[in-house]
Amino acid sequence: MPLQTTENIWHNGQLIPWDKAQIHVMSHVIHYGSSVFEGIRCYTQPGAAGIFRLPEHMQRLIDSAKIYRMPLPYTVDQLIAAVVDVVEANGVAPCYVRPIAFRGYGEIGVNPLKSPVEVYIANFPWGKYVPGNEGADVCVSSWSRLAPNTMPSLAKAGANYMNSQLIRMEAEVNGYSEGIALDVNGYLSEGSGENLFLVRGGVLYTTPLANSVLNGITRSSVLTLAHHLGIPVVEQALPREMLYICDEAFFTGTAAEVTHLRSVDRILVGDGTMGPITKALHDEFFNIVNGLKADRYNWLTPVRVKVAEPVGA
């Protein structure tokens, strides 16, 4: 999806013009993938705007950096304030927010410890991520997710998304909207950038963190909503064939939000339409973020932005 530029980007504590947010070609991150990042959505409500689960996203950014021994010189509260500052300065809502921390220009070589850490935060308009207005047609990828004790799946690191790129490109060149990866043991893991949920017999299933999945914040939100709605939830390792016999399936993620799957490997999921449990979770999620229901979990950080129309579900 093409980028729509905004006026400002936050860099190491100050707002700079979008076109000035540049790095040297010899920066460590370019050669070795040494970055961690977040994706966050800012939603509009009637006469207001709010950033979805901002503290949780900023804590995960710090956690990802800690795993990679990348000290960030900012607290969670400082990063929250920085996101609010850039969103309000650019005056764009709804929007997508991209904080990123990476090893910059300093030394060459695999060892990153003497390269400086740079932190940037940008925001820009962004709509639907997974193609398919009537549900997504997806496939099981030939590429596996990262094996345990190779690259940490709990870190939202740029390098992990080389694996994601292979999954997504393979899916698209074969005529699918997205791919679903298996873990190293052949169990279901996740999409290239989405967590996976299945429904069978009225029970909501999702793959646990041990199956090489990111600890998704939208995933966590859907689990909270499911408990609130009285939907039974099971987190367990799931075999591939569950995709073909489940009643419903959907992706979650900041970009994907709640996206139902119409088919997997050309096999319809249920009758191909959004099922009742998916719909209940989908509607509850969008009603909260778009201000049609009370923000009972305090998920939204308010920002002072002149709002446009909400992004459609």
DSSP string over 244-263: HH-SEEEEEETTTEEEEEEE
Distance CA 123, CA 138 (A): 29
Domain holding 12, by residue range, is 8-125
Q: Do 81 and 197 reside in the same domain of the chain?
A: no
Residue at 313 is within a domain = no
Average pLDDT score over the chain: 95
pLDDT exceeds 70 at position 88: yes
Is 188 in contact with 211 (CB distance < 8 Å)?
yes
pLDDT exceeds 70 at position 111: yes
Residue range 104-124: mean pLDDT, rounded:
96
pLDDT exceeds 90 at position 49: yes
DSSP secondary structure code for residue 311 in this structure: P
Residue range 241-251: mean pLDDT, rounded:
98
Rounded percentage of the chain residues whose pLDDT exceeds 70: 96
pLDDT exceeds 80 at position 192: yes
Residue range 161-184: mean pLDDT, rounded:
98
Q: Do 29 and 95 reside in the same domain of the chain?
A: yes
CATH number at residue 163: 3.20.10.10
Burial pattern 179-218, b for ≥16 Cβ within 10 A else e, equals bbbbbeeebbbbbbbbbbbbbbeeebbbbeeebbbbebbb
Distance CA 291, CA 212 (A): 34
Q: Which residues are tagged catalytic?
A: 156
Sorting pLDDT into bands at 50, 70 and 90, what band is 134? confident
Distance CA 275, CA 203 (A): 12
- Give the closest residue to 86 by CA, choosing from 160, 157, 12: 12
pLDDT of residue 308: 54
Is 260 in contact with 282 (CB distance < 8 Å)?
yes
Which of 65, 100, 125 delimits the end of a domain?
125
Q: Do 87 and 173 reside in the same domain of the chain?
A: no
CATH number at residue 101: 3.30.470.10
Which of 125, 152, 175 delimits the end of a domain?
125
pLDDT of residue 312: 46
pLDDT exceeds 90 at position 249: yes
Pairing of strands 8-11, 117-124: antiparallel
Sorting pLDDT into bands at 50, 70 and 90, what band is 2? confident
Sorting pLDDT into bands at 50, 70 and 90, what band is 313? very low
